[in-house]
Structure 1
Amino acid sequence: MARRLASISVDLDSLPHYCRIQGLPESLLDARARGLVYSTAVPRLRALFSEVGVPGTFFAIGEDVEADPSAARALGEAHAAGVEVASHSFSHDYALTRRTPAFIHEDLRRADAVLEAATGVRPVGFRAPGYTLNAALYAACLERGYLYGSSAFPAVPYYSAKAAVMGALAMLGRPSRAVLDSPRVLLAPTVPYRPEPTRPYSRGSGAVLELPMTLVPGMRFPFIGTFVTSLPWPAVHAAYRACRGSPFFNLELHAVDVLDADDGIPPALVRQQRDLRVPVARKLERLRALFTWLRDDYDVVTLRDAASQLASTV
């Protein structure tokens, strides 16, 4: 009998995007800090995948890749090594769902063009900036012919914390450029599903399969990289055991999950992004253990391969 599937994906958000979230000026970042995701995080992630013997999926931002030839080379090398490269939009505009349909379609088209130029293969997967979906963005995914999306994130604690942080930053006069999604996301399915195109957080018959990120059952706590690298290890282990019954384990990380303050990140950003205070050696040790658990308990595949295998069963 075939084992259940799991996938490990990484959002390659560069540090300017974190400045935007935290309401900090991007001028804090020098050229080296701006390039840390591709110069430092991507090699660490590839080494970790290779060491444990699991594949991965990178969600890349077209604008970041277009601006840095070394980023394009890094993606091309990752693709050649078996890493799937998927789209995380062109501009990573947190308000993408508030733009016109024409703007959304052009953003996705530009991302596809940049990523195809870097890898030789057009992306078949998409993850929305800030995990935020709506009918117009889903329609653009249909038009682009994606096989899957992986944006639905119906995590109640995450939604509440995001709202609180955005409110606090606004009161401090440093408004975040993040956007709070519709509360409807909290009712989205937590397992792979076919969305209703006009209401993509509801089940329907849409051609683009949706692969939600894994949540801890009951409390709907997000089982993501930040949780794994920064919270008490017994809690991580207990949460993994609770998630182990999931029909599909979709682990989402960010590139900063393998970076720390010693990599040359400005102190102002480190103060706001608490997970950057965790030493990278500890982060890698924890991720290595988690990847090993997944490898032993599941068939770990790229999101592209998971979508292909799940499409006929959803």
Structure 2
Amino acid sequence: MASRLASISVDLDSLHHYCRIHGLPETVLDARARKLVYAKAVPRFRELWATVGVSGTFFAIGEDLADADASAALRQAHAAGIEIANHSFSHDYALSRRAPESIHEDLVRGEEAIRAATGTRPVGFRAPGYTLNAALYAATEARGYRYGSSAFPAAPYYAAKATVMGALALAQRPSRSVLDSPAVLLAPCEPYRPDPAQPYRRGTGAVLELPMTVTPGVRFPFIGTFAATLPLPLIRAAYKACMGRAFFNFELHAVDVLDATDGIPEALVRQQRDLQVPAARKLERLATLFRWLKADADPVPLRVAAERLAPGL
């Protein structure tokens, strides 16, 4: 067994969340488009993982599971051995800015929706928009989570997000996304126990934090959106730069295996440009990357990674 650990996780953000990011009315989505994540993306990831011989973690949004088809798709994924973790109930980008009681309630509702669909309570949490603070970390501790995976210390991503949000505001089409505290830019890149009062710093918190992988130095984000669409030599170089790390946390989104031909409205495709890349091409690229991870590390769900890493932290 490889000494290095790796995890592959997918945030199951439905398309209306991308409308909110880009300042588009959700009415551009028809009923079919609203179901694409569970109808198309979840089966594609399951098939891809089965073909490569790896598994991973799905981060589910509780309110989406009110749909019977979505609930059934998640239940089938859980039965196939895929970990299901909590991505909040409402995916409110400003969740970390709510009152502590409201944060706690949202986490509980997300857990209950996942338990109703799968029969199992989640042990992992990822914040909407990767935005973590003391109040949200305290809620994960109070709920007894084993791990969180929200820290995204990627300077280029942070700068790009700030630029896009500013441009949308000037265009009077404000994004509902939230820019995180600059403190995230100095967060550890390796798994760590946070300081509960300042969770982007090391401390003695009970909930282990598993940051998304970024390259050394410039902290370029190694996430699905870029890995599936940028030139392969660039991605290969970024991958090799991360080889010195004991843990590789590869984070993706459901849209990373969707494209315009799936029935996504043109208004959203124009804004979310990776949707212009054929899904077949993205799936082929991701299969290549997953094979790299399988050859170089032991790919396990985040829950297993947290269990193995915790004793040394």
**Alignment TM-score > 0.5, same fold:** yes
1:3 Cα offset (Å): 1.4
Confirm or deny: 8 A CA contact 2:2 2:296 kept in the other structure. Answer: no
Aligned to 2:236: 237
Unmatched 5+ stretches in structure 2: none
Aligned to 2:61: 61
Aligned to 1:9: 9
Confirm or deny: 8 A CA contact 1:87 1:127 kept in the other structure. Answer: yes
Find the residue that maps to 1:306 and give its secondary structure.
Answer: helix
Q: Within 2, Cα distance between the matches of 1:307 and 1:49? A: 20
Aligned to 1:108: 107
Find the residue that maps to 2:199 and give its secondary structure.
Answer: strand
Aligned to 2:194: 195
Confirm or deny: 8 A CA contact 2:100 2:139 kept in the other structure. Answer: yes
1:235 Cα offset (Å): 0.4
1:147 Cα offset (Å): 0.3
Q: Within 2, Cα distance between the matches of 1:300 and 1:258? A: 20
Q: Within 2, Cα distance between the matches of 1:290 and 1:231? A: 13
Q: Does 1:274 align with 2:273?
A: yes
AA at the equivalent of 1:75: L
Q: Within 2, Cα distance between the matches of 1:244 and 1:288? A: 19
Please give the per-residue CA displacement for 1:196-223, whole angstroms capped at 9, x wherever unaligned.
0011000000000000000011110000
Aligned to 1:52: 52
- Please show how residues 1-314 of structure 1 align to structure 2 within 5 Å: 3-66=3-66, 68-314=67-313
Q: Within 2, Cα distance between the matches of 1:261 and 1:216? A: 30
1:243 Cα offset (Å): 1.1
Q: Within 2, Cα distance between the matches of 1:220 and 1:35? A: 34
Find the residue that maps to 1:38 and give its secondary structure.
Answer: helix
Please give the per-residue CA displacement for 1:117-144, whole angstroms capped at 9, x wherever unaligned.
1111000000000000011000100011
Q: Within 2, Cα distance between the matches of 1:46 and 1:232? A: 25
1:227 Cα offset (Å): 0.8
Find the residue that maps to 1:8 and give its secondary structure.
Answer: strand
Unmatched 5+ stretches in structure 1: none
Please give the per-residue CA displacement for 1:225-247, whole angstroms capped at 9, x wherever unaligned.
01111111110111111112211
TM (norm. structure 2) is 0.99
Find the residue that maps to 2:311 and give its secondary structure.
Answer: coil
Q: Within 1, Cα distance between the matches of 2:228 and 2:294? A: 18
AA at the equivalent of 1:53: G
Identity across matched positions, percent: 72
Q: Within 1, Cα distance between the matches of 2:107 and 2:166? A: 30
1:2 Cα offset (Å): 5.1
Q: Within 2, Cα distance between the matches of 1:45 and 1:182? A: 32
Confirm or deny: 8 A CA contact 2:2 2:297 kept in the other structure. Answer: no
Q: Within 1, Cα distance between the matches of 2:268 and 2:128? A: 20
1:23 Cα offset (Å): 0.1
Confirm or deny: 8 A CA contact 1:195 1:206 kept in the other structure. Answer: yes
Q: Within 2, Cα distance between the matches of 1:134 and 1:243? A: 26
Q: Within 2, Cα distance between the matches of 1:185 and 1:73? A: 36
Q: Within 2, Cα distance between the matches of 1:239 and 1:159? A: 18
Find the residue that maps to 1:153 and give its secondary structure.
Answer: coil
AA at the equivalent of 1:254: H
Q: Within 2, Cα distance between the matches of 1:88 and 1:249? A: 20
Find the residue that maps to 1:165 and give its secondary structure.
Answer: helix
TM (norm. structure 1) is 0.99
Q: Within 2, Cα distance between the matches of 1:294 and 1:233? A: 15
Find the residue that maps to 1:20 and give its secondary structure.
Answer: helix
Find the residue that maps to 2:280 and give its secondary structure.
Answer: helix
AA at the equivalent of 1:202: R
Find the residue that maps to 1:121 and give its secondary structure.
Answer: coil
Confirm or deny: 8 A CA contact 1:229 1:278 kept in the other structure. Answer: no
Please give the per-residue CA displacement for 1:148-169, whole angstroms capped at 9, x wherever unaligned.
0000001000000000000000
Find the residue that maps to 1:221 and give its secondary structure.
Answer: coil
1:190 Cα offset (Å): 0.4
AA at the equivalent of 2:246: P
